[in-house]
A and B are shown apart, each in its own frame.
Chain A
Amino acid sequence: MRLVAIGALLVPALLLAQPAKDSCVECHSVMDGPIQKPALLIKNDIHTANGLSCADCHGGDRTSDDPSVAMSKAKGFVGKPKRAAIPQLCANCHGSADFMRRYQPRQRIDQFELYKTSVHGKRLAAGDENVATCIDCHSVHDIRGVKDALSPVHPLRLPETCGRCHSDAHKMAKYGIPTDQLEHYRTSVHWAALKKGDLSAPTCASCHGNHGAKPPEVESVAAVCGSCHVLFAQLYEKSVHQPIFSAASGGGGCIVCHSNHGIQDPTTAMLVGPKAVCANCHEPGTPGAKTAAQMAQWLDGLDAALKRSSAVLTEADEDGMEVSEAQVRLGDGNENLIKARLAMHTFQPEEMHKPIEAGMAIANETLRAGQTALHEKDVRRLGLAISGFFIAITVVAIWLAIRRLEANGSGYIEPVK
């Protein structure tokens, strides 16, 4: 009885210890042409690493060396799955909580459900096989974990992955959607932040969703941006612009001013000047344009004042004066500038003026501190002058002493004649 129990425990253990036979890989890896490729790619696949094999998707019997058995319908061989069937195929496992729990218990299982709501999913259901399915983004046969830096859906690679189709004018022609998103995105602050290593910076999927990918609707733009830019969204939602922008065509909310894919570092050039976005609606000379100009002037003024203070403090610091107190204070000044830029999104000059005023006060205060320090440096020269004065007096005194001492020729010893 006991022996049987031990044997029952040992058998699966032995089976696990030996690498499972995989005739698919064995045969296909020595073949030529496209039919070889999957067998070579599969070693990098996360599914392989978790003990799954070709047969788990393609069906068939991987233990048989006889092709007619291994790839027989009787063994459930399906060959290359139809494109339209791929999402369901993946979902067979990825949609099953029980199954996924064995491998990735924390992974979501609603990808297919989301996919069905996406533009991709809806079109696929309607028979359009050109749209993206699972394998177009995640790759196939060498599917990697999404956190793997080589995965095509890793944040640093995702824009290019989406762009493979969406930047292709030929592919997009029949959908009538633009193809310049990737080009614009590459110029944006978001991509810049991502490239610097901030993986929390948004890629395509952060705003459009991944499995449920679709363009955010007008009402949800502010919500999408606001998921990171919380305070801006809150102020904007209460602002006079919110209802107006929401009615705008071609997407509303934040993108009316900031655009969507090519979001640039915002400057006061957005408020005033030839590239001002405000001027798109507010004609020059109107109260709105004047307010925008006023806001720009405040922001630029505070920015310049803070930079000036910073320069004076740096100069004083490098000259060896103690200005650390003022330098800490200057940090508060910069904070007020940031807050003023935030408050701009109320579009209420009086809201914005509070941090501007506070910032200006700090800029002036730190400027004075820096100037005082620089002035103190000049005191050094005064000290030098005093000491130089004493030195001069002493030199003169010594000279006079020598004159008096040697008045009668004393001190000199004439050569012996």
Chain B
Amino acid sequence: MTAKAIQWLDDRLGLSAIRELMDHKTVPVHSATRWYYFGGITLFLFGIQMVTGILLLFYYRPTVAEGFDSVRFIMTRVEFGWLIRSIHSWSANLLIFVAFVHMFSVVLTHAYRPPRELTWASGIVLLGLMLGFGFSGYLLPWNQISYFATKVGTDVAAGTPGIGPSIARILRGGEDVGAPTLTRFFALHVMVLPLITVGLIAFHILLVQKNGMSTPPWIAASRVRHLKFFPNFLLREVMVWYGALAVLGVLAAIFPWELGEKADPFASAPKGIRPEWYFLAQFYTLKLIPSHVWIFEGELLGVAGFGVLAVGWALLPVWGVNRAGEARTRLVTGVAIVLIAYLAAFTLLGYIK
């Protein structure tokens, strides 16, 4: 009976191709294998975000009048609402952290080398999208801190040379952060960004399937043992996912995400206003840059610098690889270590100061 049903499906869907893929997909086993898990964790957390995000949509209302109250309603009146919202918030933060780990593991194992340039580029775009999710989602509870953080954030965007003011206007839906901003950020957060992200994730994973797992250049690929992805690697991955879920549960139950005070556009900005931790390094850097450097405005220079840095980073497969298609391991590892040190130090400084 079961066999018959499988046969029926196979005839129509071509299950055997999938089975073949599952059979043939393998994971290289070596000293850096553990880093392969982080892509999977990122994917899993994104799944958690989708599920909890959709659940929150059942109650959330994206208006200035009701946004805050509806989140409070979720937290206080809806059964397990506190859990769902806390998981959504914690998972978002964990997701960005894990995505960063994933990215730097790729850099340090030099997996960006041909033929994986597009995998790298799509990954960078995905990271940008994740930051976009974080930025837009932060405003939605419409509390005092998120309101002012968004004000500061969009001000930075407005500092971009030339097109800045227009970008800020489009983001805010007006001259200042207000009701139109909330609607816009909501649309971005639940429709625009997810659509793009899902498509890009599919592309990213497809490329991973196509090109297989990369082995670090210092390990001879032909001499490495491989582990079958299904079921052996997948089972291990599921174990890690369960672990991540447990961490999320603990965080959500013991440190429920705060709701804060309802945003009051006419109040003066609360003290110690700062963005989410993943923007802290940039935030702190911009604060450190003097207001005028030579003939340029300091903030403008900072924003432009970040732009150049981001583009340069996305072009890693271009400058990080020599003509023979081999990774310039020393250069790239050096740059990566400097970058990690910078991000860690400035995030910490931004947090303390």
Q: Which residues of chain A have a CB within 8 Å of any CB of chain B?
A: 317-322, 380-381, 383-384, 387-388, 391-392, 394-395, 398-399, 401-402, 405-406, 411-416
Could you show 27 A-B contacts with beta carbons less than 8 Å apart? Answer: A317-B76, A319-B256, A320-B81, A320-B82, A320-B256, A322-B76, A322-B77, A380-B82, A381-B253, A384-B249, A387-B249, A388-B249, A391-B245, A391-B249, A395-B243, A398-B239, A398-B242, A401-B235, A405-B232, A406-B232, A411-B227, A411-B228, A413-B26, A413-B225, A413-B226, A413-B228, A414-B225
CB distance from B16 to the nearest CB of A (A): 21
A391 to B227, CA, bound (A): 25
Docked-complex contact B246 and A380, CB < 8 angstroms: no
A39 to B298, CA, bound (A): 61
Could you give, for residues 57-92 of chain B, a 1 whenever the CB lies within 8 Å of some chain A CB and a 0 otherwise? 000000000000000000111000111000000000
A405 to B259, CA, bound (A): 47
Docked-complex contact B83 and A388, CB < 8 angstroms: no
Q: Which residues of B contact A384 (CB under 8 A)?
A: 249-250, 253
Q: Which residues of B contact A399 (CB under 8 A)?
A: 239
Cβ of B202 < 8 Å from any Cβ of A? no
Total inter-chain residue pairs, C-beta < 8 Å: 68
Docked-complex contact A412 and B254, CB < 8 angstroms: no
Docked-complex contact A402 and B232, CB < 8 angstroms: yes
Within 8 A of A (CB), among B29-81: 29, 75-77, 81
A415 to B243, CA, bound (A): 31
Docked-complex contact B75 and A320, CB < 8 angstroms: yes
Known: A320-B82, A380-B253, A394-B242. 17 other contacts (CB 8 A): A317-B76, A319-B256, A320-B81, A380-B83, A381-B254, A383-B253, A384-B250, A387-B249, A388-B249, A398-B236, A412-B226, A413-B26, A413-B226, A413-B228, A415-B223, A415-B225, A416-B222
**9 pairs of A and B residues whose beta carbons are closest in the complex:** A411-B232, A384-B253, A320-B75, A413-B226, A320-B76, A320-B82, A391-B246, A411-B228, A398-B239
Main secondary structure of the interface of A (DSSP, over half): helix
- From B85, which residue of chain A is reached at the shortest CB distance? A320
Q: Which residues of B contact A398 (CB under 8 A)?
A: 235-236, 238-239, 242
Among candidates A317, A321, A394, A415, residue contacting B222 with C-beta atoms closer than 8 Å? A415
Cβ of B307 < 8 Å from any Cβ of A? no
CB distance from A387 to the nearest CB of B (A): 6
- From A387, which residue of chain B is reached at the shortest CB distance? B249
- Most chain A CB atoms below 10 A, which of B77, B253, B259: B253
Q: Which residues of A contact B256 (CB under 8 A)?
A: 319-320
Q: Which residues of B contact A381 (CB under 8 A)?
A: 253-254
Within 8 A of A (CB), among B229-251: 231-232, 235-236, 238-239, 242-243, 245-246, 249-250
Q: Which residues of chain B have a CB within 8 Å of any CB of chain A?
A: 26, 29, 75-77, 81-83, 222-228, 231-232, 235-236, 238-239, 242-243, 245-246, 249-250, 253-254, 256, 259
Among candidates A319, A402, A412, A414, residue contacting B235 with C-beta atoms closer than 8 Å? A402
Q: Which residues of A contact B226 (CB under 8 A)?
A: 412-413, 415
A406 to B250, CA, bound (A): 32
A401 to B242, CA, bound (A): 15
A413 to B243, CA, bound (A): 27
- From A415, which residue of chain B is reached at the shortest CB distance? B223
A87 to B26, CA, bound (A): 109
A310 to B37, CA, bound (A): 49
Q: Which residues of B contact A388 (CB under 8 A)?
A: 246, 249-250
A405 to B157, CA, bound (A): 54
- From A401, which residue of chain B is reached at the shortest CB distance? B235
- From B26, which residue of chain A is reached at the shortest CB distance? A413
Q: Which residues of A contact B239 (CB under 8 A)?
A: 395, 398-399
Q: Which residues of A contact B253 (CB under 8 A)?
A: 380-381, 383-384
Q: Which residues of B contact A383 (CB under 8 A)?
A: 253
A398 to B82, CA, bound (A): 30
A412 to B229, CA, bound (A): 10
CB distance from B281 to the nearest CB of A (A): 32
A388 to B226, CA, bound (A): 32
A152 to B46, CA, bound (A): 70
CB distance from A291 to the nearest CB of B (A): 45
- From A411, which residue of chain B is reached at the shortest CB distance? B232
CB distance from A313 to the nearest CB of B (A): 13
Q: Which residues of B contact A392 (CB under 8 A)?
A: 246
Q: Which residues of A contact B238 (CB under 8 A)?
A: 398
A402 to B236, CA, bound (A): 8
A401 to B77, CA, bound (A): 41
Q: Which residues of B contact A391 (CB under 8 A)?
A: 242-243, 245-246, 249
Q: Which residues of B contact A414 (CB under 8 A)?
A: 225
Docked-complex contact A415 and B224, CB < 8 angstroms: yes
Docked-complex contact B77 and A412, CB < 8 angstroms: no
Q: Which residues of B contact A411 (CB under 8 A)?
A: 227-228, 232
CB distance from B228 to the nearest CB of A (A): 5
Docked-complex contact A412 and B227, CB < 8 angstroms: yes
A188 to B312, CA, bound (A): 69
A401 to B239, CA, bound (A): 11
Q: Which residues of B contact A405 (CB under 8 A)?
A: 231-232, 235
Q: Which residues of B contact A322 (CB under 8 A)?
A: 76-77
A413 to B227, CA, bound (A): 6
Q: Which residues of A contact B224 (CB under 8 A)?
A: 415
